[in-house]
Structure 1
């Protein structure tokens, strides 16, 4: 079993392969190369890089990370889901006691109106226990945030103090069994009765039950319920209503309210997810959270936003912080996994391919570097993009930049980045688990536990695929605006924007002016694909081309009968989502590139540029077939992509530990046995044992050596 587990550490490792030459200065094993041994080789300023990674809200992140490092907030593995739920609810009280949940709420009720810092701190809670992070997110990021952003000052005074201090544990009751991401089609109704000045909330059938609702099974005393508002026989679309669920003393459901426990899940079992249903439950008219739409006593409906569609998206847009939070939390989880896996890979030894006596360090194998360094590069890119998203979020919610266009940009940016970062976290956790062999499968090293808990991140706060479709529609809308009067022959040249210089930055379709306008060929621009400008050319051109092709195919779809238009859109849905993903990857690459401009230390900048290039070239390699089929790269040029990547791996290898040390995690954050240095102690003990045997002459002779000697001395015929 042990041998099989060890070999599973890297299926590409074979005793006959030639790993990177190994050198072992001090406690770190690094690959020897001209880059590592030259006197003028670059070095990483770990402290300065750590500051850059912490971003604008560094102080808040430090406080939150210190709190997340406290044992009383850590996940205890092996608990029953009932005990785990109780532990996490108790941990929420610790967050309240430490003022960790009040930042985003209004100063009028004891908050700080600090939106970006609030999310930055929240993202760090994944270090302690993802269940704690999401339970806190339900209470304050969804339930409390809905009251805050959709309600009025009267609602704030009435309910926010109790929500903030946990006197009112609550639910965010939006999702229904029959409708997940399609919020506009939920079936729960809130029908106004002018005779009593009440709304009657009702779930007309089983599929309309609110489902997967955090806090619904046990702890929730109240909920913000999303329902179709009906008054005077007219449905005004989805609105939010505050509703009491349980008697605070007995915890029994109030009359007309029922529910079920969702039970044990694939992860996040510290959260009591459940189902809720309502049978003609009456609530006061004033329980409508009416910031964007209200009902007068006589039943007349009024709203400051005339368009029902725009009103709906405005209301949902105020709740975008869930996606922003998950994006950053997923990046943090990826960092945890990579720090553990890379630390272990610098200590664990396997196979003596280049030496008769010493086994090789795992991280000196090229394939192992491919597995971990490419994901490390993506994690850096995702982290820098996440910081930009968080700053955009703070700009909007602080009111500094809060136009309709800003909110649409924020919505699009969150919908683009959250899918990539959450998918990447799951992929990284799995790859790091496998790269650590059997040790990676032990719960004590956290990979399996974190992956189970983060699995649902890909489908809540918006299913990832659905979110990318939202991004694709925005790209098409921007495309239509830019090229409403331009024929496809012109579009084929991809002259997007005419500003001389670099990219036009926006969260819709990015225009890059100079690529093809002069040369008429992207291939000519890609003389050296490792060059920054060439990477930008190739990555941007792919997005533009894909959007232009789908836009051309869908031209006139809005004039077709509904069924035909839907069929045409569905025919190109896959291409649309691929274009959106390519766009999101471009956003990450651009964020990484912009971050390089903030690096003052020359050595750090060199190493980070290699890492950025690794990210860009990995994207090009992943989509190499597209570049070849569309004539963007020649076959000869395409063959060089892998070679460039392999050269970068050798350059990055000596700096791998510095790059993960810059994440700033201590043992109390990692909590992984294989990241404690214990493996190095074991390996050093083993090497010393065999060294002593050889020195004393007591080492047994390998049978293969005797056979070789016999073959040499045997008489020739």
Structure 2
């Protein structure tokens, strides 16, 4: 151990972080000892880590360097007031670092680098999720709304102050009464031609703007979403720039409340706003997609009110994109901590009376952690695809209506998947580290508390999946629109026979094994990429087809009846969208395998992909059996094959999480510093010395066993003597 300790003291924020070097060195020694005679593939950690950094690798590196500095990191145990002031100050530090302009025009000091901006921004979650989200409110929501919904006049007037933090601002969209239903917000912006002003008004308490970052304390302005009314016509939701505070507090007609202490993210001053006939200049309307002239006439380059509404909201999709990426980053940090600890923590004498087992060697622990490593890799590769789609749209390289719709659908599918997975991963990592995982300084509890709200903001996950499902149903209907009557007739017959549509022919293919297969053939079947793709794709296609069949004609019914039918199928709709999101993850993972050049690394990552795909099938195994996609015999082999994959991946677990690329300055968890390896070594050395002592205490079990052995020997001797005596007497 002494030869490793020269590494200590390199990290300025802790006396313990450098112990990770010791822990990793010990792990390498353990793995090398176990692998002296094996021919298993070797993982190229550096190359895999580079691939995970993706297209905007340099932007990520720069942001990770910032997140690794003490002045940007959370101080556990601070009061809410202290935490808020620290995070506010950190935003100014980001400005000084030149870290926030990437997505803005060159005229504003930016580089029109939308993908790199999100890639860098999401890495801040490793420093403090409150910093990531507050920065997102200031520049990703408030600033981006002015940039994307406003025109050049607005950019010149407000963006410099927004960028340099002279104008901290809020994004006032959500209302207490209409959280995810933005189209129905009740706040109004009525044009008054006599004064050339808009009047912003909150007509009742349920219309108060709620959960707004920067509204509780720091915000001086807000982009307010309201129903735009002019000349007696409501033109739907539009955005307006509204000053809300000066140095003395709220401006006249504006009120609000601080949301106070929350379950997490307490470095952000969330609050409520309401408006009592507040007047603002007509030119404060962010009028890129809808304008009102001095006479009150409304014009828009988009004729359809519905399309105009979704176009305006679509410019703000980056919030969902960044949450997806931040959830992935937090999952990586948690797994890197938990797996490092699991390679050092020992428990129970399972195979030896001298040394306890490393808990990573237990199959259940492998199920808990390695399976979630696989999920995190899938999330990471899928996020990179989402980021490239986002950058294409916002840079203008591929900005058609179809591209924007695809981006919206992709973000709405992946954000729920990643944020729910992140909560699961954080909780499982916490439990896998026992009581140590519950100690605040080991990060899990704070990260989970902060990420909890990710599943409900920037769109509640269930609502987002409902949007995805509607897109799937629309695409499904359009596909059938181009088929001839004969095809439709055959489809209806198959449905009537209770056999769901199956374009892949998988039903017949899967069932052929039932009577003639073997376990080995079944394993080969399951690990085949095309089999996994067919099963996962069929899960989505069949679910969408069944819902479409159940809802056929609902659009032509009266509103109440159509809503009833939709509501009766809501669970199935959301489940179909969830399965679609999981399929997207699998497809992204599979595509990423093609970019791995090293054969050994590609083999290991193929096992990881197989583990991810098969655990999805295992999760929905009842569905596959009920729909005749897998026989009972084949289904029974799924679990054992997953266990075999876990055993194959066990030697590579640490390498897989090390490839995530986070250093001790990002993990900041005592249990991932090597301190546990030191404790275990100290314990092992103590026990070794104890056993060598001539007067070492004897274990009671050993003493009992020895006495029993002696008593048994005595009985045998007595029997032998008695037998000998009988022979002599004879």
Tell me the residue number matched to 1:164: 163
- Residue number in structure 2 paired with 1:245: 244
Structure 1 counterpart of 2:476? 479
SS at match of 1:104: coil
SS in 2 for 1:555: coil
State the shift of 1:233 in Å: 1.0
Q: Is the 8 A contact 1:396 1:407 kept in 2?
A: yes
Give the Cα–Cα distance (whole angstroms) in 2 for the partners of residues 692 and 705 of structure 1.
Answer: 18
Q: Is 1:180 the counterpart of 2:209 in the alignment?
A: no
Decide which structure has greater helix share. 2
In structure 1, C-alpha distance between the alignment counterparts of 2:147 and 2:456, rounded to whole Å: 25
Given the alignment of the two structures, is residue 574 of structure 1 paired with residue 590 of structure 2, yes or no? no
**Aligned counterpart in structure 2 of residue 552 of structure 1, from 549, 552, 555:** 549
TM-score by length of 1: 0.91
Distance, in Å, in 2 between the alignment partners of 1:339 and 1:267 is: 22
Q: For 1:30 and 1:626, how far apart are their aligned partners in 2?
A: 42
Can you list the C-alpha shifts for 1:514-538, whole angstroms capped at 9, x where unaligned? x318x84444598711111111011
Alignment of 1:513-552 (within 5 A): 515-516=504-505, 520-524=508-512, 528-552=525-549
Is the CA contact (8 Å cut-off) linking 1:30 and 1:654 kept in structure 2?
Answer: no
Following superposition, the deviation at residue 28 of structure 1 comes to 3.6
Any stretches of 5+ residues in structure 2 without a counterpart?
1-23, 496-500, 514-521, 720-730
CA distance in 2: counterparts of 1:561 and 1:659, whole angstroms: 55
Matches within 5 A, 1:503-518: 515-516=504-505
Q: Deviations over 1:656-699 (max 9, x none)?
A: 11111111111111000000001001001101111111123343
1:43 aligns with 2:46: no
**Partner Cα separation in structure 2 for residue 493 and residue 96 of structure 1:** 62
Aligned length in residues:
673
After superposition, the C-alpha distances for 1:32-90 in whole angstroms (9 at most, x for unaligned) are 999x5555320011110010000000001000000010000000111110111001000
Of 661, 681, 687, the match for 2:678:
681
2:518 match = none
Whole-angstrom distance in 1 between the partners of 2:266 and 2:25: 44
Instruction: Map 1:405-484; keep pairs closer than 5 Å.
Output: 405-484=402-481
Q: CA deviation at 1:708?
A: 2.1
In the alignment, structure 1 residue 126 sits paired with structure 2 residue 125 = yes
Q: Does 1:79 align with 2:88?
A: no
Cα-to-partner distance string for 1:162-215 (whole Å, 9 max, x where unaligned): 100111000000000111111011000001111111111000000000001000
1:670 to 667, 670, 674: 667
TM-score normalized with structure 2 length = 0.90
Please list, as runs of the form range in 1=range in 2, the aligned pairs for 1:318-357 lying within 5 A after superposition: 318-357=315-354
Distance (whole Å) between structure 1 residues aligned to residue 610 and residue 114 of structure 2: 33
CA distance, structure 2, for counterparts of residue 378 and residue 174 of structure 1: 33
Report the alpha carbon displacement of residue 110 of structure 1 after superposing the two structures with TM: 1.9
User: 1:210 corresponds to which residue?
Assistant: 209
How far residue 422 of structure 1 moved from its aligned partner, in angstroms, is 0.6
Query: Could you say if the C-alpha distance between residues 512 and 346 of structure 1 is closer, same or farther in structure 2, counting changes exceeding 3 Å?
Result: farther
Equivalent residue, structure 2, for 1:499 = none
Q: Name 2:558's counterpart in structure 1.
A: 561
Query: 1:636: how far off?
Result: 0.5
Distance 1:46 1:90 in 2: 36
* Structure 1 match to 2:609: 612
1:193 alignment partner in structure 2: 192
What SS class does the counterpart of residue 250 from structure 2 fall into?
coil
State the superposition RMSD in angstroms.
1.9
Q: Partner residue of 2:364?
A: 367
Alignment partner of 2:625 out of 608, 628, 631: 628
1:276 aligns with 2:273: yes
1:232-275 CA-partner distances (Å, limit 9, x unpaired): 1111110000010112x32x111100001000000000000000
Cα distance in 1 for residues equivalent to 2:97 and 2:492:
56
> Which protein is bigger by CA-based radius of gyration?
2
Residues 575 and 492 (structure 1), Cα distance of their counterparts in 2 relative to 1, 3 Å cut: farther
C-alpha distance in structure 2 between counterparts of 1:658 and 1:377, whole Å: 13
State the distance in 2 between where 1:491 and 1:664 align: 53
Structure 1 counterpart of 2:491: 490
- Which of 643, 646, 652 in structure 2 is aligned with 1:649? 646
| 3-state DSSP of counterpart to 1:707 | helix
Q: 2:389 aligns with which of 366, 388, 392?
A: 392
- In the alignment, which residue of structure 2 is the partner of 1:700? 697
**Residues 1:572 and 1:56: Cα distance change in structure 2 (over 3 Å):** same
> Is the 2:328–2:422 contact (alpha carbons within 8 Å) kept by the matching residues of 1?
yes
